[in-house]
Amino acid sequence: MRVVTSRTRRPPESVAVAEALGAEVVTLGSAGAKAMAVVRGEVDAYVHAGGMYQWDSAAPVAVAAAAGLHVSRIDGSPLVYNVPEVYLPDLLICRPQLADAALAALAHS
């Protein structure tokens, strides 16, 4: 099992999820590349807690959701786009069967 996170900023939340799932942490560059790694099955979860703008994640999140993956904020609330506040603080994209364990780990991180 593998959890992907930022190559330049590894948030402690991604390590918490990896530990809870017994997963290896791997790093990649862009938000789109990380999201598509989950879609393609190369990794099992993508945790981002450093914030990003809506336009950096909107398309990758739409593709992940269309592929049947779990997509949410790291507190489990829905991701909301096309709102005046364009900064998105965090996100979780993962296999649906891992969502409960990942969200529980995030709640305790």
State pLDDT tens for residues 36-65: 999 999 999 999 998 899 999 999 999 999
Q: Tell me which residue range forms the domain holding 18.
A: 2-107
8 pLDDT more than 90: no
Which residues have C-beta within 8 Å of that of residue 26, sequence separation ≥ 6? 2, 3, 4, 5, 43
The domain that contains 21 carries what CATH number? 3.40.190.80
Q: Which amino acid belongs to residue 6?
A: S
Give the total number of structural domains in the chain.
Answer: 1
pTM, whole model, 2 decimals? 0.94
Distance between CA atoms of residues 5 and 8, nearest Å = 9
pLDDT confidence bin for 11, thresholds 50/70/90: confident
